[in-house]
Structure 1
């Protein structure tokens, strides 16, 4: 089984870190390939970055010419593009935001998301709402750290996460979610200190993708993700009708 994991930004180092986390979660026999968009934001932080990132990821998958793959994992927490990718490709598409929330709902009544900057909270809340899992979300909290800050100072990242985790628990969270793909790996370091489950979206998405492939399931083509008419699938200049 081959899973393609798409980074939502152009930072290759972050792609490698995400791929490492994905491979650690993958079953034996699953190959994980990382994709980094050739254009777009260096780090997705805000509405404009998110929409640009979505277009870049869609373009990356649309022009992909590597080995065939069995599933796509979208490694951008709260980023746009999920629905577009599901319409574009013929394999299961699992978004880390949605995957983490679904698993968290199996582990506790309410979950909390801990992310980077406060400005990202709105997109995450909207993404959870669209996915139908917002009802169980106790809170979405920012750490005040930019995406690219996460790996430059691990001690600062852990301290900021623990501070936000205390606030999330006070808000009623029984499970915590890592609200950025760049946080992958924190769950192994901090779950024992906090004594409650911490869900990493990258790991969750990989395992759900494997399950869908094993079960022979993929995106429905009836209704929302039905194939558009051929003339609408032309990229570039409009064709004469």
Structure 2
């Protein structure tokens, strides 16, 4: 089984960290391939960057060379999963939804701890769209930018763990969900301080994707996520770069007139 894990930003070190976390939890025999968009922001922390990332991830996935069995979109609260589901005939799993769905097996209410406050509405909207919001006790922001998770890890750890403690104490959360693809290393620290299960979105999404592949299940194509209708789409696919790869066998692709 080969799973593409798509970072939503253009920071290669974050792609590497996300892919490493995916490999730690993947079953023996599952190959994890981390992919980085060739355009977009170096971190995604708002609507403009999120919509741009949606196009960039579709571009990156459809340019991947070779076969694959599933795609994980590794951006918490980001747009784009629906477009990938239309383009591909393999399962597509978003880390936001996978983490929240997993958390619901572990406690009555979960809280999400994320980065900047401006990302909170995006996460709330994504949970509501997925029908997962009623089990969410709160979405709390640490006040740190995404890239500070790498540049100032000690400060990031303390800020995120503190918000998790408040979520358990004040919001009555019974499970903590890490609201960023780059937070995986914080699981143990939060469990030790808060005494509750902690769900990392990348890990949950990889496990979900593996399960769907093993069960032989993928996205329904009869209505909402049907392959795009044949028509002229100006400027798509985007102009190729010298290193760009051909579309994968796993892509249904938008048929162009």
Structure-1-length-normalised TM-score:
0.95
Is residue 88 from structure 1 mapped to residue 87 from structure 2 by the alignment?
Answer: yes
Cα deviation for residue 158 of structure 1 reads 1.4
Is residue 166 from structure 1 mapped to residue 200 from structure 2 by the alignment?
Answer: no
Aligned equivalents of 1:76, 1:236: Cα separation in 2: 23
Cα deviation for residue 234 of structure 1 reads 7.2
Cα deviation for residue 63 of structure 1 reads 2.2
Aligned equivalents of 2:124, 2:115: Cα separation in 1: 14
Cα distance, 1:109–1:226 mapped onto 2, change above 3 Å: same
SS of equivalent to 1:231? coil
Aligned equivalents of 1:162, 1:42: Cα separation in 2: 24
Partner of 2:2: 2
Moved segments of 4+, more than 2 Å? 232-237
Contact 2:233 2:256 in 1 (8 A): no
Aligned equivalents of 2:45, 2:86: Cα separation in 1: 25
Write out aligned runs for 1:77-226 (5 A). 77-169=76-168, 170-226=170-226
Is residue 68 from structure 1 mapped to residue 67 from structure 2 by the alignment?
Answer: yes
Cα distance, 1:55–1:236 mapped onto 2, change above 3 Å: closer
Partner of 1:53: 53
Cα deviation for residue 232 of structure 1 reads 5.6
Contact 2:95 2:201 in 1 (8 A): yes
Partner of 2:44: 44
CA deviation map 1:16-60 (0-9, x unaligned): 000000000100000000000010011001111111111111111
Partner of 2:243: none
More helix by share: 1
Structure-2-length-normalised TM-score:
0.89
Partner of 2:247: none
SS of equivalent to 1:181? coil
Partner of 1:29: 29
SS of equivalent to 2:33? strand
CA RMSD across the alignment:
1.8
Question: Structure 1 regions of 5+ residues with no counterpart?
Answer: none
Cα distance, 1:232–1:214 mapped onto 2, change above 3 Å: farther
Aligned equivalents of 2:90, 2:256: Cα separation in 1: 31
Aligned equivalents of 2:100, 2:201: Cα separation in 1: 8
Cα deviation for residue 228 of structure 1 reads 2.7
Question: Structure 2 regions of 5+ residues with no counterpart?
Answer: 238-254
CA deviation map 1:77-112 (0-9, x unaligned): 000001111111110000000000000000011100
Aligned equivalents of 1:145, 1:136: Cα separation in 2: 25
